[in-house]
Structure 1
Amino acid sequence: MKKMIMVFVISMFTIFAFTPANAGNGPGPAPNSGDGIPDGSGYPSPPSPGPGGN
């Protein structure tokens, strides 16, 4: 029983230790930026009024 408790505690510690690292991962740059600098061109934009549009 004591061994099972230790395995549980160690596994919970390991899981919770990696949670902040995973939470910090964002979606990344726009898919078509190419240089790793997000430029927003890969995201959908709402229709704009006036000449030219999108």
Structure 2
Amino acid sequence: MDRIDIMQSQNFEFLISVWPELASLAGFAEHYAYLNPQSALTKLRKIAERSVTVVC
């Protein structure tokens, strides 16, 4: 089973109870926004990919 490390997010905490993986990715993206923008974009891309796979 995959382990999800939860990274706290200022803007996406409401997702933790429903979609913890996206909440964690959003937290990492927020954390990396200024320190490492390329990593933040990678996390945001993962959020988009995961949300599309669930919706479709």
TM range (shorter): 0.3 to 0.5
- Give TM-score scaled by structure 2 length: 0.31
- Give TM-score scaled by structure 1 length: 0.32
Which has the higher Rg, Structure 1 or Structure 2? Answer: 1
Greater relative CO, 1 or 2 (CA 8 Å, sep 6+) = 2
